[in-house]
Structure 1
Amino acid sequence: MKPEISIRMIAGNSNRKFAEAMARRISVYRGEPVRLADVRVEQFNDGEIFVEIYDNVRNEEVFVIQSTSKPANDNLMEILILTDALRRASAKRITAVMPYFGYARQDRKTAARTPISAKLVANLLTEAGVDRVLTMDLHAGQIQGFFDTPVDNLYAAPVFALDVKHHFKDLDDVIVVSPDVGGVARARELAKRIGVGLAIVDKRRGAPGEVESMTVIGDVSGRRCIIVDDICDTAGTLCKAGDLLLGQGATEVHSYITHGVLSGPAVERITSSSMKSLVITDSIQATPDVKAAKNIRVVSVAPLFAQAMLNVAAGNSVSSLFDEAMLGPIYEAFYRFD
């Protein structure tokens, strides 16, 4: 990134620590302090969102950092109102940095008289004034087509691959598992990056959120299994898949999940499960219970997002960050390679 290129970073309330980590990474890159813009984001007594931006953003490249995680509706309204304020303050370009894009699970009509909420959210962001979206592991890739503006969808797989290679020294007995047929492409990508085989859990649902039956496609006997998925919500299906794999002869079960929604009884289920470890990213701010869980570990994707922001501002390739050779130096503080 050229020194003369100026960017402004504005954080909502959903994951401020993530935004601060990005600012630190950019500060190291530029050799000078980079701070988050001074902004007030509060609620009136009745719950309405109030925003005031104190820094001048006229003709500036602005990145609004906000995951639409729980409370999803409040965080969505925050980014919409922040964007409106920036547009009215004559910002040159507004990029919505949404590590976790909420409402992505409603990406198509699954039954009569159901909404396509992901498209509605895309329309809201565009109408508010968002010029570009930077996100990670969209639940459905076609959501990029819901926008008439550019969408850069980053992937956790390269970061997960670095982490697996660091913590699983010998990969001969490792196999990657997709928890359902729909996630095969995501699991195959990690399997290819670390050079191991692939298995699939065929999951059949009854009512929404309820699993009728699960079957393993592939041989997992004597293997250390790594389940890969984009979202872990209540963790019921994940824990059942772990038990199923162990019942099929797997020696250990680990999971790598991009977005740790972890609502309701999720943390308790995971800590009391047979799963040896669950690795999530910091796309959603970890709760105290998550931090205290003995078998949950958080891998930061803030350095990846920070570099992507720099590339966007400078007009450089974002897809270059899908290469582990590019990510290695960015994550050298996390992992040491021979």
Structure 2
Amino acid sequence: MQYIQEEIPDYHNAVIVAKSPSSAKRAQSLAERLRVSIAVIHGDAETDLLDGRHSPPTVRTTGGLPELPCKRHTVPFCIPKEKHPITVVGDVAGRIAIIVDDIIDDAVGFVAAAEMLRERGAGPIIAMATHAILSADAPRILQESAISQVVVTNTIPHSSQKLQCCKIKTVDVSLILSEAVRRIHCGESMSCLFHNIGADD
């Protein structure tokens, strides 16, 4: 919140983007505090290989029906599940697009979302996540992507990844985490850590 207000002077022209419907609630919460609009991307390409849309597996065919390797057994022909087109719900043209999520790991979803936002006239495009796992080739992928900044916290060490991607900016959350640990140890309220945060914090 504070990072956005300090580092993005024109943040009132921003739109908070949920890269999938599952992260819309998180995006809406941030958008309400910043008093900006929200956009949601539907049909995340990341789920294509995980939800069975490419089933059934490719098998050898003779005639009209697919055949398994054993010719005595056949399986009925199945039509793969229909893919829903990837769309953006919300006005992003000419706006600063801030994609938010809790974790950024392989970065494929963020990069795909950024490409779609750029095609629809958004820019600059900023990715924000709490936990920066940034596994495998994620730093290189982000460096070569349409994303101009990747803002993450230091809940997970990522100094080596920053050497590979100059777009990564780290927000220090050590004070709030240490205060949370102290409150848990002393049996004090945790909710006031968040409920008492004003719009300018």
Matches within 5 A, 1:159-198: 161-198=1-38
Asked if 1:324 is matched to 2:166, the reply is no
Asked if 1:242 corresponds to 2:114, the answer is yes
Alignment partner, residue 223 of structure 1: 95
How many correspondences in the alignment?
A: 168
User: How far, CA to CA, are the matches of 1:220 and 1:278 in structure 2?
Assistant: 19
Tell me how far 1:226 sits from its aligned partner: 0.3
Measure the CA separation in 2 of the matches of 1:196 and 1:320.
24
Higher relative contact order (CA 8 A, sep 6+): 2
CA contact (8 A) 1:304 1:327 kept: no
> Which segments of 5 or more consecutive residues in structure 1 lack a partner in the other structure?
1-160, 329-338
Tell me the distance in 1 between the aligned counterparts of 2:7 and 2:161.
Answer: 24
Preserved CA contact (<8 Å) 1:242 1:274: yes
How far is the alpha carbon of 1:209 from its aligned partner? 9.4
For the Cα contact (< 8 Å) 2:140–2:164, is it kept in 1? no
Whose Rg is larger? 2
Note the alpha carbon deviations across 1:123-168, whole angstroms, 9 max, x for none: xxxxxxxxxxxxxxxxxxxxxxxxxxxxxxxxxxxxxx11111111
Identity %: 27
In the alignment, the residues of structure 2 paired with residue 310 and residue 172 of structure 1 have an alpha-carbon distance, to the nearest angstrom, of 35
TM (normalized to structure 2)? Answer: 0.77
**Structure-2 separation of matches of 1:253 and 1:266:** 17
Q: Distance in 2 between matches of 1:242 and 1:313?
A: 42
2:146 to 271, 274, 285: 274
Residues 1:163 and 1:243: Cα distance change in structure 2 (over 3 Å):
same
What is the Cα deviation at residue 292 of structure 1?
4.6
TM-aligned CA deviation for residue 195 of structure 1: 1.0
Match of 1:311 in 2: 183
Specify the alignment match of 1:207 in structure 2.
49
TM-score of the pair, normalised by structure 1? 0.47
Contact 1:176 1:225 in 2 (8 A): yes
Give the alignment of 1:33-72 within 5 angstroms: none
Letter in 1 for 2:185: A
Q: Deviations over 1:190-220 (max 9, x none)?
A: 1111110000011243212999652111110
2:146 aligned counterpart, secondary structure: coil
For the 8 Å contact 1:162–1:324, the answer to whether it is kept is no
Does residue 262 of structure 1 match 2:134? yes
Number of the residue aligned with 1:20: none
- Alignment partner of 1:298 is 2:179: no
Q: Are 2:123 and 1:251 equivalent residues in the alignment?
A: yes
Q: What's the CA shift for 1:282? A: 1.0
TM-superposed CA distance for 1:291, in Å, is 4.2
- What secondary structure does 2:103 align onto? strand
Q: 1:216 to 1:274 in 2, by over 3 A?
A: same
**SS in structure 1 at match of 2:152:** strand
> Structure 1 residue 313: deviation in Å?
2.1
Q: Distance in 2 between matches of 1:210 and 1:216?
A: 23
Please list every run of at least 4 consecutive aligned residues from structure 1 whose deviation after the TM superposition is greater than 6 angstroms: 209-212
Aligned pairs for 1:117-196 (under 5 A) are 161-196=1-36
| SS at 2:12 equivalent | coil
- What is the CA deviation profile of residues 247-289 of structure 1, one whole-angstrom value per residue up to 9, with x for unaligned ones? 0011210011111111111100001111110111111111413
Structure 2: runs of 5+ lacking an equivalent: 54-82
The whole-number CA distance in structure 2 between the counterparts of 1:208 and 1:198 is 27
SS in structure 2 of the partner of residue 254 of structure 1: strand
